[in-house]
């Protein structure tokens, strides 16, 4: 891996992590195009892709620091809404923790290929367009929903259960949690915010696990400099991507991501069919 490869992977990670397009799917495609992660190096490359998402996590912590401080006050009994959000975060995280620890090795062995990504991109894209068409029937429906401060533990648990579907690469954790939040009764804006905050906990746990499991191998194969470059560029690009996405969704909705996912699935599927990319 060159420094340019690390920068490119960091940019792709940061831009796509919190958009409903699947960062994992994009990173798998980019790794294949760069010739990274083939053969015995695949496990280490997958771990590298997961660990540089720490940059995106830090970016969200910075952008939503007021909400994080509110939850911190809730933990010490000084903010009832903050405590409600802490409980919601824990309930949203638990399903992924249980399923992830139980099936992590199986998922990496069977689903970290390009055809599963292509299928998930297209199915998810169609799902976005269907849900958006249903919700866009009236202005009242578009604005309906609860503020994040009103989230209950049952709503959070529902969001957390659907988050587990995103363990299939290409599905997108952001997509599942945002759509689950809307279906649970939150406004789109509140669903996006909860998705981002829940991502800090979920992605942070995944990053810590892979860092502990494969940290030494990553440093041996790719070097500390490349890991730092990936982190920094993921941080910067995620900060811009999150701010853009929040503003865009408030004005236009999610349809564009549905069309993008379908187009990406068709293009990568064509490259696989034509032999330009290998599926494994």
pLDDT digits 0-9 by tens, 110-138: 667 788 889 999 999 998 888 777 766 55
pLDDT digits 0-9 by tens, 212-271: 777 777 787 888 888 899 999 999 999 999 888 888 877 777 889 999 999 999 998 888
CA distance 192 to 18: 9
| Global model pTM greater than 0.85 | no
pLDDT range class, residue 177, cuts 50, 70, 90? very high
- Residue 166 to residues 73, 75, 116, 173, 199: CA-CA distances in angstroms? 31, 29, 12, 5, 12
Are residues 209 and 166 in contact, defined by beta-carbon separation less than 8 angstroms? no
pLDDT range class, residue 87, cuts 50, 70, 90? very high
Q: Which two tokens stand for residue 178?
A: 């945002």
Average pLDDT over every residue of 150-156: 93
pLDDT digits 0-9 by tens, 178-219: 889 988 889 888 998 999 899 888 888 888 877 777 777 778
Q: Which two tokens stand for residue 45?
A: 């490359």
CA distance 206 to 152: 25
Nearest to 131 by CA among 189, 181, 172: 181
Q: What are phi and psi of 11, to 5 degrees?
A: -65, -45
Average pLDDT over every residue of 34-59: 79
pLDDT at 141 over 60: no
Q: Which residues of 13-25 are buried (b: 16+ CB within 10 A; e: fewer)?
A: bbbbbbbbbbbbb
pLDDT range class, residue 151, cuts 50, 70, 90? very high
Average pLDDT, the chain: 85
């Amino acid at each position: 891996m060159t420094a340019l490869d690390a920068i490119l992977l960091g940019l792709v990670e940061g831009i796509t992590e919190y958009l409903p397009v699947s960062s994992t799917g994009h990173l798998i495609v980019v790794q294949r195009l760069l010739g990274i992660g083939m053969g015995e190096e695949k496990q280490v490359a997958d771990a590298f892709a997961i660990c540089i998402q720490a940059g995106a996590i830090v970016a969200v912590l910075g952008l939503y620091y007021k909400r994080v401080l509110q939850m911190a006050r809730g933990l010490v009994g000084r903010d009832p809404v903050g405590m409600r959000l802490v409980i919601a975060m824990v309930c949203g995280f638990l399903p992924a923790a249980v399923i992830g620890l139980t099936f992590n090795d199986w998922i990496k062995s069977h689903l970290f290929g390009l055809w599963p990504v292509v299928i998930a991109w297209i199915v998810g894209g169609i799902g976005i367009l269907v849900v958006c068409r249903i919700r866009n029937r009236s202005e009242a429906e578009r604005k309906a929903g609860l503020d994040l401060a009103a989230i209950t533990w049952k709503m959070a648990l529902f969001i957390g259960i659907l988050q587990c579907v995103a363990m299939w690469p290409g599905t997108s954790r952001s997509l599942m949690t945002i759509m689950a939040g809307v279906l649970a009764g939150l406004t789109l804006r509140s669903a996006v915010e909860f998705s981002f905050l829940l991502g800090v906990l979920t992605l942070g746990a995944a990053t810590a696990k892979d860092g502990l499991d494969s940290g030494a191998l990553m440093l041996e194969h790719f070097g500390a400099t490349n890991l730092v470059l990936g982190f920094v560029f993921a941080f910067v690009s995620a900060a811009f991507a999150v701010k853009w996405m929040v503003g865009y969704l408030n004005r236009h909705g999610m349809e564009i991501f549905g069309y993008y996912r379908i187009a990406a699935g068709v293009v990568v599927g064509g490259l696989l069919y034509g032999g330009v990319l290998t599926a494994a």
